[in-house]
Structure 1
Amino acid sequence: MPPSADICVLLPTLDESATIVDVIEAYQGVGLRNILVVDGGSGDDTCELAREAGATVIKQSGTGKGQAIREAVARIDAEYVLMADADMTYRAEDAERMLEPLLVGDFEHVIGNRFADMESGAMTKLNRVGNRMINRGFTFIHGENYRDILSGYRAFRTDSFRQLTLSADGFGIETEMAVECAKNGVKTEVVPVTYRQRPDGSSTNLHPVKDGGIIFLELYRKAKTSNPLFYFGSVGLASTITGLGLAAFVIFRWIVDGIGHEIIAVGATASLLFGVQLLMFGVLADLILSLHREQLTRIDRLESDNFEDSPSQPRESTETETDSPPQKPE
């Protein structure tokens, strides 16, 4: 592991006075002393305790975990960032495992997989089910299996993070980071970590139903630019099926009972047309995206070939005939 000055431990906090000192001391104990706490307006003495423990503390200008992380990374000068929650659910002893793919390999982003070693009671059954559904949805939509995209234990190169287009303010930031990594081809590694139960006196700021809905919407919204066929096709398919159902009802009622439902028939026609158009638009958008990716691949290949073909050293200057000394005639 390089000197701790090259690594910044980032801890977003909100009312974490019960655990913040233990978390900071744990990372200091493994040799990571550059610790930045970004506080979201704690009503307790989280900030004071963090400063006394030796961490640098800043107060975010906005609200939400996503905004806090973006603001904090913009201030970080270290080459690598290790991001964790300040509630003692992650172990500082896993820091070396998290950082190794960045320091030894050529990876740019690392996700800690909590499901590899999750202690009993660390996650409710509702949260487990929600996490599994979100991870499977992510794999289906974006084609990458990161196994735990909602994990708050991340390590990344600072320059690669700044290349991601992130806008989520709340807990959707982890989902958005995973989507951006898959979309932009950021080399991402998943490593097993231990996920522990919150200690007594520490309460979660996560609301499973509310934040889960936000995460699902974020996952679907991001599909617009990474998988347009799913984004437009899913709505188009639903509209088409609805139109077909309404049309079948109108035809059945007209044949069996001799009753016409003109208004429903108009709605069925509109739903069918809308659904088919969205399906066609999704196919065209997916085709355009595929062509765009092919062009980017060709550009990268050409740049790589030009770099390999370029001389490693400048060509030595040669003397011209006029510069050469005159030949003595025989």
Structure 2
Amino acid sequence: MEYDDVCVLVPTYNEAETIGRVVDDFRSAGFEDILVVDGHSEDGTDEVAAEHGARVVYQSGSGKGQAVREGIRDHVDREYVLMLDGDGTYRVEDAEAMLEPLLAGDAEHVIGNRFADLREGAMTRFNQFGNRVINRGFAFVHGENFGDILSGYRAFTRESFLRMTLSSDGFGVETEMAVECAKHQIPTTVVPISYLPRPSGSDTNLRPIRDGGIIFLELYRRAKTNNPLFYFGSLGVLSTVSGAIIAAYVLVEWITVRVPHEILAVVSGFGIIVGVQLLMFGVLADLVLSLHRETLQKIEEENGSE
């Protein structure tokens, strides 16, 4: 397989122990353009990558998401991008399977499913549980099952990436990309890959609790434009149920001990009214979104028939 139109993008931060082998593996496989976007590492990652033949640039900000956006926007001019982490957990042997759907024109975005061959010690049980919860939550909220939305092994066309609206600076970038694929109906394929344990001496930059919370918030926040019925409906149900519980308490107190709670009564009424309004707004927003998608689909069909 020819890789002349492929740029291998590797965002890094303190990966000196592994980046050299990663670059060597991909150069040996025939990849000529290997771009390492370094987040101002303190262990000489940039020097090691350059010594092994990678093209090294430095991101202006911090975080994986910012590195990916800036790297593709400012330093990639090839048609296809193969993105992976520099920690040695992804295999170059899976690169061909990742790129094949793109080069064949069958997809514009490819996600490597780590759970297809999760090697022993590659992921803690806690992280496995968190990943599966997030994936199921994504499928429920956004209506697509991409198998492993947190996978760092991605292949995509540069054009499809530039159509995405991404703002996350950290590890939430993979979640954002998955949501944007669902939102813009970018043809997406999931392929099985192997996921290896990090080599000894290599420390992870992932903080499961903190980064997991950020990812959950990102999933919910992005539902506002991709699934407004869920976003506003969940807020509406929460407000309505809270108001109803307060109202029940006020009623019980009045019946049993004749103690009035005027302020709580007002709060409960406000909560119920706001909740119902949010539910109605969610239904209307979902209707508008459905009409918008149907209109876009008709426009694309008309343009395709010309």
> How would you bin the TM-score normalised by the shorter chain?
over 0.9
Worse-matched range after superposition: 51-60 or 252-261: 252-261
Q: Deviations over 1:96-120 (max 9, x none)?
A: 0100111124210000000010011
Shift of 1:163: 1.1
1:290 aligned counterpart, secondary structure = helix
Q: Distance in 2 between matches of 1:50 and 1:240?
A: 56
Q: Distance in 2 between matches of 1:136 and 1:49?
A: 39
Worse-matched range after superposition: 155-164 or 173-182: 155-164
Residues 13-162 of structure 1: pairs in structure 2 closer than 5 A: 13-74=12-73, 75-162=75-162
Quick one: which amino acid aligns to residue 247 of structure 2? A
Q: Distance in 2 between matches of 1:83 and 1:59?
A: 17
How many corresponding residue pairs? 305
Q: Distance in 1 between matches of 2:113 and 2:105?
A: 18
Counting aligned pairs with the same residue, the percent is 61
1:191 aligned counterpart, secondary structure = strand
The equivalent residue for 2:176 is 176
Quick one: which amino acid aligns to residue 218 of structure 2? E
Q: Deviations over 1:109-138 (max 9, x none)?
A: 000000010011111111111111111111
Q: Deviations over 1:55-101 (max 9, x none)?
A: 00000001110010011111211111100000010001100010011
1:190 aligned counterpart, secondary structure = strand
**RMSD, aligned α-carbons:** 0.9
Quick one: which amino acid aligns to residue 15 of structure 2? E
Q: Distance in 2 between matches of 1:162 and 1:97?
A: 23
Quick one: which amino acid aligns to residue 48 of structure 1? E
Tell me the TM-score normalized by structure 2: 0.98
Residues 281-320 of structure 1: pairs in structure 2 closer than 5 A: 281-305=281-305, 307=306
2:4 aligned counterpart, secondary structure = helix
Worse-matched range after superposition: 102-111 or 176-185: 102-111
Quick one: which amino acid aligns to residue 8 of structure 2? V
Shift of 1:300: 1.6
* Unpaired stretches in structure 1, ≥5 consecutive residues: 308-330
Q: Distance in 2 between matches of 1:258 and 1:250?
A: 10
Quick one: which amino acid aligns to residue 76 of structure 2? I
The equivalent residue for 1:191 is 191
Q: Distance in 1 between matches of 2:225 and 2:9?
A: 29
Worse-matched range after superposition: 256-265 or 200-209: 256-265
Shift of 1:33: 2.3
Query: For the pair shown, which has the larger CA radius of gyration, 1 or 2?
Result: 1
Quick one: which amino acid aligns to residue 26 of structure 1? D
Shift of 1:31: 1.3
The equivalent residue for 1:212 is 212
Shift of 1:258: 1.6
Q: Distance in 1 between matches of 2:70 and 2:4?
A: 20
Q: Which runs of 4+ in 1 moved over 4 A?
A: none
Q: Deviations over 1:232-271 (max 9, x none)?
A: 1101100100111111111111112222111111111111
1:18 aligned counterpart, secondary structure = helix
Quick one: which amino acid aligns to residue 63 of structure 2? G
The equivalent residue for 2:201 is 201
Tell me the TM-score normalized by structure 1: 0.91
1:19 aligned counterpart, secondary structure = helix
Q: Distance in 2 between matches of 1:101 and 1:144?
A: 18
Q: Distance in 2 between matches of 1:11 and 1:267?
A: 52
Quick one: which amino acid aligns to residue 111 of structure 2? I
Shift of 1:166: 1.0
Q: Distance in 2 between matches of 1:94 and 1:304?
A: 34
1:5 aligned counterpart, secondary structure = coil
